[in-house]
Chain A
Amino acid sequence: MNAETVAFTILSLSAISGAILMVSLSRVVHMAIALALVFLSIAGIYLLLSAQFLAVIQILVYAGGISILMLFGIMLTHHQLRDELSIGKAHTILTFSAISIFLIILLASVNQVPITLNRYTEVAVGELGKIMLTSHVIAFEVMSILLFVALVGSILIARKKVNP
């Protein structure tokens, strides 16, 4: 067992247990905290995949931004702060078994992926920026327009209606 295997095991266990906690806890705020744990572990997984920039962005955007945004959403909307269940028991069991079958199919097909030897050279952040601003520059600009439109649109949707 080398260090990478140990790190992957710890990170994936914490990610999966955070996700299980998220779907099984009853208080919504605790769910948000479990989701932040999942996001942090996924940032660690990105570090293992030698995507350092993406790991930092993951912590910044997800663990920092989206978790806080979701907490704001809970505070602004939910009074009793509980996820009072719920759908019927039969529905839950049916969904659980269907998703288990789906997961088994997914894992079986994932195991058929051929293991390839490759020569991946690590890229520095500057190199990544060069790729982003030369060969992917149109996608980059479209992304900035998308973010602008989405933020203005969400303000428009969420603000209080003034009487015309």
Chain B
Amino acid sequence: MPLTSYLSLSAVLFCLGLYGVTTKKNSIIVLFSIELMLNAANINIVSFSKLGPYPHPSGQVLGLFSIAVAAAEAAVGLAILIALYRRTQTVEADRFDTLKG
């Protein structure tokens, strides 16, 4: 398969994740969509590591690191959500308006 098809797949997945981030109110779903966007970026990294102009296995190592960072992000994000839920009894993103003037 050419590089273009992998890049197109990742573009479509990224846009679906972006749609989820911007339209959903439930913060857990926003976290889901962020994970989807990270995965789309990761497909790009790995496909360039095989099919790019200068193929090298270092791209796979970069993808591995990005998976680790995404896992850490998911854990911290969920912890913040649980702490917020304990304070406000909701996960709706537009109810977190304590800083509103």
A residues adjacent to B (C-beta < 8 A): 4-5, 8, 12, 15-16, 19-20, 22-23, 28, 31-32, 35, 38-39, 42, 45-46, 48-51, 53-54, 57-58, 61-62, 65-66, 69-70, 72-74, 76-78, 83, 85-87, 91-92, 95-96, 99-100, 102-103, 106-107, 110-111, 113-116, 118-120, 123, 127-128, 131-132, 135-136, 139, 143, 146-147, 150-151, 153-155, 157-158, 160
Contacts and interface: CB of A to CB of B under 8 A. Distances in A.
Residue of B20, B39, B68 most packed against chain A (CB within 10 A): B39
B28 A120 contact: no
B78 A146 contact: no
B57 A127 contact: yes
A75 B26 CA distance: 13
Residue of A19, A76, A160 most packed against chain B (CB within 10 A): A19
B34 to A, nearest CB: 11
B53 interface: yes
B25 A87 contact: yes
Contacts of A45: 6, 9, 43
A12 B46 contact: no
Interface string B20-47: 1011111011011101100100110011
Interface in B38-80: 39, 42-43, 46-47, 49-55, 57-58, 60-61, 63-65, 67-76, 78-80
Contacts of B79: 153-155, 157-158
A120 B81 contact: no
Nearest to A120: B55
Interface of B: 1-9, 11-20, 22-26, 28-29, 31-33, 35-36, 39, 42-43, 46-47, 49-55, 57-58, 60-61, 63-65, 67-76, 78-83, 85-86, 91
Contacts of A48: 1
Contact of A132 (B22, B28, B61, B74): B61
Given A12-B9, A102-B15, 12 more contacts: A8-B1, A19-B12, A22-B36, A23-B33, A38-B39, A58-B67, A70-B28, A76-B82, A99-B22, A146-B68, A157-B82, A158-B82
Contact of A116 (B13, B52, B85): B52
